């Protein structure tokens, strides 16, 4: 049996350190939150939004799921997006994927995986991810690069695919229609260097060609 003790102990020591450095640390956002950004990332334990951006409580509104997916039919995701844009007024949305993403790898190997024969939430998600990645998967198959490079390109393709979904969601389009300041950024995180890299940015609805 596990216990909560190690987490509680670290929590108390963290809170103490914060208060020692700044006695008002917890008062600043006691009564309201005003985060500057919505972070949409992967649930992967190695990609903690606040830690890798050096953010404090109150700075990031966060949604994480397997492989940082943007699914317009997902009420959980969409309610976070709606709340962040229209109630919290975030100015920036960061969609962040990461190299070595297990979700992307699972989508790649789905046909040979036990998940393929399953009807479970996880199987349905990975299957939806595979569908969203069709273009990236054909590039993967056509490429003669090293396996690790091909996987990295596939992770980037996932960021670009989810970014396109994000830019097409109703809350984002509505914000842009009424001239609300809202910038979208698509990034990838490198587990090895700890660096975040920007792949794509969009500040308003692109005019139709």
Catalytic pick among 63, 96, 98, 187: 98
- If the CB atoms of residues 42 and 133 are measured against Zn ion, the closer one turns out to be 42
C-beta of 52 vs 88, nearer to Zn ion: 52
Q: Least distance (Å) from Zn ion to the CB of residue 107?
A: 11
Sheet holding 92-98, edge to edge: 60-65, 37-42, 92-98, 183-189, 196-202
Residue 101 is among the residues annotated as catalytic for this protein = yes
Specify whether 98 is catalytic.
Answer: yes
46 catalytic? Reply is yes
- From the list 96, 101, 125, 187, the catalytic residue is 101
Active-site residue, 24 included: no
Q: Is 36 a catalytic residue?
A: no
Q: Which is nearer to Zn ion, 17 or 43 (CB)?
A: 43
* Residue in 201, 203, 202, 193 with CA at minimum distance from that of residue 98: 193
Q: H or E element: which one contains 96?
A: strand 92-98
Contacts of 9 (CB under 8 A, 6+ apart): none
Question: Which residue among the candidates 46, 56, 177, 195 is catalytic per the annotation?
Answer: 46
Distance, first Cα to last Cα, the chain: 61
Catalytically active residues are 42, 44, 46, 98, 101
């Amino acid at each position: 049996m596990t216990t909560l003790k190690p987490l509680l102990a670290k929590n108390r020591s963290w809170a103490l350190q914060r208060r020692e450095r700044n006695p008002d640390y917890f008062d600043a956002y006691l009564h309201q939150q005003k985060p500057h950004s919505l972070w949409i990332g992967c649930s992967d334990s190695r990609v903690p939004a606040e830690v890798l951006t050096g953010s404090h409580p109150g700075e990031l509104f966060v949604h994480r799921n397997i492989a940082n997916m943007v699914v317009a039919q997902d009420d959980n995701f969409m309610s976070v997006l709606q709340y962040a844009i229209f109630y919290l007024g975030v100015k920036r949305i960061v969609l962040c994927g990461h190299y070595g993403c297990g979700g992307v790898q699972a989508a790649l190997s789905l046909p040979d995986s036990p998940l393929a024969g399953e009807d479970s939430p996880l199987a349905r998600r990975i299957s939806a991810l595979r569908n969203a990645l069709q273009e990236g998967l054909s590039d993967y198959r056509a490429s003669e690069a090293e396996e690790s490079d091909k996987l990295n390109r596939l992770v980037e393709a996932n960021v670009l695919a989810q970014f396109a979904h994000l830019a097409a969601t109703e809350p984002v389009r509505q914000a842009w229609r009424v001239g609300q300041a809202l910038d979208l950024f698509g990034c990838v995180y490198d587990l090895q260097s700890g660096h975040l890299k920007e792949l794509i940015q969009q500040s308003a609805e692109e005019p139709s060609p």
